[in-house]
Copies of this chain bind each other. A is one copy, B any other.
Amino acid sequence: MDDKHVVIVGGGFAGLNAAKQLADRRGLTVTLIDRRNHHLFQPLLYQVAMAGLSPADIAAPIRSILSRHENVRVINSEVTRVDAENNQLQTTDEDIDYDYLLLACGAMHSYFGHDEWEEHAPGLKSIEQATEIRRRVLSAFERAEVTHDADDRRRLLTFVVVGGGPTGVELAGAIGEMSRFTLARDFRNIDAKLARIILIEAGPRILPMFAQKLSARATRDLESLGVQVWTDSSVTEINADGVDVSGETIRSATVLWAAGVKASALGTDSGFDCDRAGRIHVGSDLSVPLHSNVFVAGDQCAFVDPETERQLPGIAPVATQQGRFIAAAIVADRQQQPRGEFRYRDKGQMATIGRSRAITEVGKFRLTGLFAWLVWLVVHIYFLTGFRNRLFVVLSWAWSFFTFRRGARLIVSKNWRSYSDPKSS
């Protein structure tokens, strides 16, 4: 048999896990394409935004992760279109033919038709966005320290997080904790403890994917860190002054977006059948109807769990399991075995609130408080890719936990040019 060429688009959890499963298989060559050079451990990205970890602690070069597998090639390029009729895809550099294709490009933030909000309310999907959020949050405290205007100070010390899912809860909790414990002792003019943090959720409760009781506990934990939780509240406007919420205006210098997501535009641009969020519809084996050699996984995949009859959530375990299933399906094809049907094995879910609290739900088994947080810690360290990162993250956390300090409190500008000339900026 000739070698079959498997092309994987995207080096997230789905793509990377598929590539690892296909590595060193006889009769297959694998090309992984990503326009970023690194795999990102998204579940800990909020820690970079909150100055607890450095970008390199949670990101590793894809090329380096896969370097010892001879049959895997990594290309740093951008895929612009898939031509499924001709088994070919276009990148900004060249056209590439494939025998099998895995689309795993992930998702980006959706502002529900208000793209102009993004400038005033960055989301949290990339290292760049995390360092931008870090810059905004830390700068707000610095500006509050120098201003002599009380109204301005109040605006600078008001932080609004839109979206009560796990990311929104983690961001709001971390700002609460940072202002209460880390920053409070460093400022002279402002009392960082008086920072107002408002978490806005359109639905009736935060963390709706968790049991009612856990979501109530998370609300109480947030409140103890000074976070106000506003449920049943819709955002109607975001601009440089702040946020309009259900008729009220909150003046705020720092608004963060953790609400909707939509899939990469590659699915709709290439003419695949997509849902409203741009996710590509797939069959029970995760392949695209009429193109059984094209698979989709992760946040880009519209897959309704036959058990719960709900779209699977956009989380790392789903992407990982889908990536591995697809790799196994390709191997099964080669051995002329049936592919089987994808089933998500739900290992539970968790969300963390501040420095030492979390909620964890595994089936009917529920945990809260410090013990849930310790479980969260162990699970996240275990899954973090690569020995070095794992070790460094543990040390960073241990250091922050015992000293209440944060190691990465850097305000880094967007402009690299001639910073040392006061006149030029």
In the complex formed, the residue of B with least CB distance to A48 is: B56
From B131, B147, B388, A407 is in contact (CB under 8 Å) with B388
Nearest Cβ on chain B to A268's Cβ, whole angstroms: 10
Residues on B with beta carbons closer than 8 Å to the beta carbon of A420:
105-109, 125-126, 264
CB-CB contacts below 8 Å: A51-68 with B = 54-57, 59-61, 63-64, 67-68
Q: Given the known A-B contacts A57-B54, A146-B93, A186-B61, are A419 and B108 also in contact in the complex, defined by CB atoms under 8 Å?
A: yes
Q: Given the known A-B contacts A132-B416, A186-B64, A411-B37, are A79 and B122 also in contact in the complex, defined by CB atoms under 8 Å?
A: no
* In contact, A146 and B75 (Cβ under 8 angstroms): yes
Nearest Cβ on chain B to A98's Cβ, whole angstroms: 16
The reply on A97 being an interface residue by CB < 8 A is: no
* In contact, B108 and A410 (Cβ under 8 angstroms): no
Residues on B with beta carbons closer than 8 Å to the beta carbon of A139:
76
In the complex formed, the residue of B with least CB distance to A36 is: B411
From B108, B186, B408, B412, A67 is in contact (CB under 8 Å) with B186
The reply on A209 being an interface residue by CB < 8 A is: no
In the complex formed, the residue of B with least CB distance to A37 is: B411
* In contact, A422 and B35 (Cβ under 8 angstroms): yes
The reply on A336 being an interface residue by CB < 8 A is: no
Nearest Cβ on chain B to A319's Cβ, whole angstroms: 14
The reply on A237 being an interface residue by CB < 8 A is: no
Residues on B with beta carbons closer than 8 Å to the beta carbon of A403:
388
CB-CB contacts below 8 Å: A123-147 with B = 125-129, 131-132, 138-139, 142-143, 145-147
A353 to B138, CA, bound (A): 36
The reply on A308 being an interface residue by CB < 8 A is: no
Q: Given the known A-B contacts A35-B422, A108-B421, A411-B37, are A63 and B128 also in contact in the complex, defined by CB atoms under 8 Å?
A: no
Q: Given the known A-B contacts A186-B64, A188-B73, are A265 and B422 also in contact in the complex, defined by CB atoms under 8 Å?
A: yes
A105 to B419, CA, bound (A): 11
When each residue 255-270 of chain A gets 1 if its CB lies under 8 Å from chain B and 0 otherwise, what string results?
A: 0000000001110010
In the complex formed, the residue of B with least CB distance to A106 is: B420
* In contact, A37 and B410 (Cβ under 8 angstroms): yes
Q: Given the known A-B contacts A37-B410, A56-B408, A409-B64, are A108 and B418 also in contact in the complex, defined by CB atoms under 8 Å?
A: yes
Given contacts A78-B422, A125-B420, A388-B405, 4 further A-B contacts (CB under 8 A): A54-B56, A74-B186, A127-B410, A414-B414
Q: Which 10 A-B residue pairings sit nearest by Cβ, starting from the closest?
A: A108-B420, A56-B408, A128-B416, A54-B54, A76-B142, A132-B416, A126-B419, A37-B411, A67-B186, A61-B409
Return 29 A-B CB contacts under 8 Å, by A number.
Answer: A36-B419, A38-B410, A56-B409, A56-B410, A60-B409, A63-B187, A64-B186, A64-B409, A67-B186, A68-B185, A73-B188, A74-B188, A75-B146, A76-B146, A77-B146, A93-B146, A93-B147, A105-B420, A108-B418, A109-B420, A125-B419, A125-B420, A128-B412, A128-B413, A129-B416, A131-B412, A264-B420, A392-B407, A414-B416
